Amino acid sequence: MKIHLPKHLKTALKIVLSVGILAFVLYKIDTKALLEVFARVQPLWLVPALLFFALSKYISAFRLSQFLLSTGIDISASFNLKLYLLGMFYNLFLPGGIGGDGYKIYLLNKRYEVKAQSIFWAILLDRVMGLLALFCLAAALAALATLPHFYKTYSWLLIPLAIGAYYYFIKIFFARYRSIFVVTLLQSFLVQLAQLLSALLILLAIGVSGSIGDYLFLFLISSIVAALPITVGGIGSREITFLLGAGVMHLSISNSIALSLLFYIITALVSLTGIYYSIKTEKLR
Successive 10-residue mean pLDDT values, the chain, 285 residues: 53 70 74 86 94 94 92 85 84 63 84 89 94 94 81 86 96 94 96 96 92 92 83 73 86 90 91 80 64
Look at residue 1 in the predicted model and tell me its pLDDT: 41
Contact 37, 206 (CB under 8 A): yes
pLDDT confidence of residue 210: 82
Would you state the pLDDT for residue 285?
Answer: 63
**DSSP tally for the chain: helices H, then strands E:** 13, 0
Element at 148 (helix H, strand E): none
Q: Give pLDDT, residue 64.
A: 92
Whether pTM exceeds 0.85: yes
The answer to whether 243 and 28 are in contact (CB under 8 A) is yes
Q: Which residues contact 243 (CB under 8 A, 6 or more apart)?
A: 25, 28, 29, 253, 256, 257
